[in-house]
Chains A and B, each alone.
Chain A
Amino acid sequence: MTVLREVLRRPQGAFAAGWLALVVVAAVVSRWWTPQDPFRADPYSAWQGPSAAHPFGTDAIGRDVLSYVMAASGTTVLVAVASALVAVVLGVALGALGALTARWVREAVVVLVDVLVAFPTILVAMALAAVFGGSLGVVVVAVGIGYGVAVARVSRAELRRVATTDYVLAARASGVGTAGVLRRHVLPNAAPVLVVQVSLAMATSILAEAGLSFLGYGAPASVPSWGRLLSDLQPFVATHPGTVAWPGLAITLTVLAFNLLGDALRDAGDPRLRSRGTSRRGPGRDGARSGAAGSGAAGPGDARAGAAPTGGTAP
């Protein structure tokens, strides 16, 4: 819980947590209730401006934009959670293969990961869409693979660091097997790094879902989606630019929130930046933020943490 408190203490973290809570509440509530039926077309009330009945106005076929945006938040949450789950399971599995197995397997995995990391997620999605047709499942699998490789890179470095610590050595010496070491020592200590990756994977998945739904290969017409709404509104952007702002803002703020949450979690997981009043002076503050690609790579922070396993980071 200290991590949560650390996150909320920072303005960015508080904004991120607040906005994401709002999105989740909207997603849950919209399962049972939205102000209007999000799919009911009413051509007589097309393109109405914001009003009490339609706070976000209506679109070309008279759908209530607020209700649609609310209903679509459910899709976003679902895709984000599913993608992150696939990415972490795949990434940790690959990372463990790359960190804890025989030397030739480790090196093969490193090369594989180095190559795969260059594969843009959207191209993976297009390849899958060519075969299976577009669907949210394709989005989830594509982001899962695309981001899973990035997770593998970070988690490999982290697992490798933890695996060479004295307490893991001690556990191995006292007869605990690989699976036991992984579950009892390695994963809990690597968790702070993984949580950051989960947050960034969710940001990626939301952008990917929006992009693919815009192209027509994500959410089908029967499933409300922010990206789909963007593509529905695109022909009218010249005449009604204001309406596009709602799905646009919804996507941007949610991605922003996940990015900021990732940053806040990274800072909160860094004992040097814990609240000691003068958090600004921490030498790693901005350096840590730039480390999107290699935050798990060896650095001064890792060396320190490796010497003294911090009890506070284990959940």
Chain B
Amino acid sequence: MTRFVLGRALLLVVGLLLASVLIFATLRLLPGDVAQVIAGTEGTPAQVAGLREQLGLDRPLPVQYLDWIGGLLRGDLGTSLVTGTPVASEVLDKLAVTLPLAGLALVVGLVVGVPLGVVAALRHRRPSGVAVSAASQFVAAVPAVWMGMLLIGVLAVGLRLLPTQGFPVDGWADPARALRSLVLPALTIGLVEGAVLLRFTRSAAIGALREDHVVAGAARGLTLSRSLVRHGLPGVLLSVVSVLGLQIAGLLVGAVLVEQLFALPGVGRMLVADVGRRDLTKVQGELLALTGLVLVVGAVVDVVHRTLDPRLRERTP
């Protein structure tokens, strides 16, 4: 077990390093250079040279990279090229919207996907089960943006239940109001991800229905569904946990699109705006924050899965 955790931690560190190198290198592919972009077409060569020196762009690339990483370890991601504000504090600010959004969406996805997946498995030969399965195939293919528009149309405009867009200016000062503005976006992401989770749960549960211990439970007089819930469900839930890492990555990515649609001040929306402004230090910080989150969550899920699954525990040499 310790060996597994250490190995996984090592892979995480390698992953984070690789991610930082790739992000840094990609953003330095820019034809021309950053200083020229900031100075604009009006900038004189002297201004451009001045900017370049001020931003440290005249130094060799490896030095710039190490400088960035060094700052990162001290919690400093540099300052915005456009507004001059520190990137790290702004990213943290926006995570206060993005993380609760992703968390809520995950809850929606699990609440919708897992129970319905089990039901769809129990009835997989009956019309109701086939209908649930077909509906989940369809919903899993719906683009998040359209799902959001449908929900706005039905729940916000049609029934006047929830705000259609925006987030309280004072953030979480009034938690109930803030939460209300996250409901529709979280439903948007959660329903689509829930459909994917439903499909995983369903196929895992159908597999479990054929397993000896579930069949044995039914033979001892339990109904097949009770036997599945009592004896098969732990295994089914474990296989759901094993795909959760990828699903959470999907949630964070969905947030980029959905924050834009619902005008939520999260990391995704900020990233979209900064890409438009070519604020490269901020884009660099935001990309690192998001990929870092995905990688860390993936590692944590792997370790949790390993701890929970007795079959994997025993096999460790």
Contact = CB atoms under 8 A, between A and B. Distances in A.
B169 interface: no
Query: A-B pairs with the 3 shortest C-beta distances?
Result: A248-B146, A241-B153, A290-B203
B269 to A, nearest CB: 10
Given A211-B144, A237-B152, A286-B202, A118 B15 contact: yes
Interface string B43-59: 00000000000000000
Q: Which of B30, B203, B204, B294 gathers the greatest number of chain A CB atoms within 10 Å?
A: B203
Interface string B29-68: 1100000000000000000000000000000000000000
A287 interface: yes
Contact of A210 (B15, B29, B145): B145
A130 B283 contact: yes
Interface string B289-305: 01100110010000000
A256 B272 contact: no
Nearest to A111: B14
Contacts of B142: 248, 251-252
B271 interface: yes
B48 to A, nearest CB: 18
A43 B132 CA distance: 43
Interface string B234-265: 00000100010110011011001100110000
A293 B14 contact: no
Interface in A199-238: 203, 207, 210-211, 214-217, 227, 230-231, 233-234, 237-238
Contacts of A24: none
A127 B287 contact: yes
B206 A286 contact: yes
Contact of B143 (A111, A207, A217, A286): A207
Interface string B135-148: 00110111111100
9 contacts: A120-B290, A121-B253, A126-B283, A130-B280, A210-B145, A215-B256, A237-B157, A259-B141, A286-B206
Interface residues of A, number: 50
B164 interface: yes
B27 A131 contact: yes
Given A130-B278, A241-B153, 4 more contacts: A127-B27, A217-B275, A233-B149, A289-B199
A298 interface: no
B290 to A, nearest CB: 6
B261 A234 contact: yes
A289 B203 contact: yes
B149 A290 contact: no
A260 B137 contact: yes
B107 interface: no
A119 B19 contact: yes
Nearest to B298: A118
A131 B146 contact: no
Interface string B267-283: 00001101110101001
A72 to B, nearest CB: 14
B11 A234 contact: no
B243 A293 contact: yes
Contacts of B19: 115, 119
Contact of A211 (B145, B271, B287): B145
A128 interface: yes
A127 B23 contact: yes
A168 interface: no
B150 A120 contact: no
Contacts of A252: 138, 141-143, 146
A283 B145 CA distance: 37
Contacts of B274: 130
Contacts of A42: none
Interface in B197-216: 199-200, 202-204, 206-207, 210
A251 B146 contact: yes
A246 B14 CA distance: 45
A241 B159 CA distance: 14
B316 interface: no
A255 interface: yes
Contacts of A132: 29
Contacts of A290: 199-200, 203-204, 207, 239
Nearest to A226: B143
A114 interface: yes
B26 interface: yes
B294 A120 contact: yes
B275 A126 contact: yes
B18 interface: yes
A255 B141 contact: yes
A123 B204 CA distance: 30
Contact of A234 (B149, B202, B243): B149
A111 to B, nearest CB: 6
B287 A230 contact: no
Given A115-B14, A230-B145, A286 B280 contact: no
A298 to B, nearest CB: 15
B137 to A, nearest CB: 6
A177 to B, nearest CB: 32
A112 B18 contact: yes
B15 A115 contact: yes
A230 B294 contact: no
Nearest to B242: A293
Contact of B149 (A114, A230, A253, A287): A230
A129 interface: yes
A270 B110 CA distance: 31
Contacts of A195: none
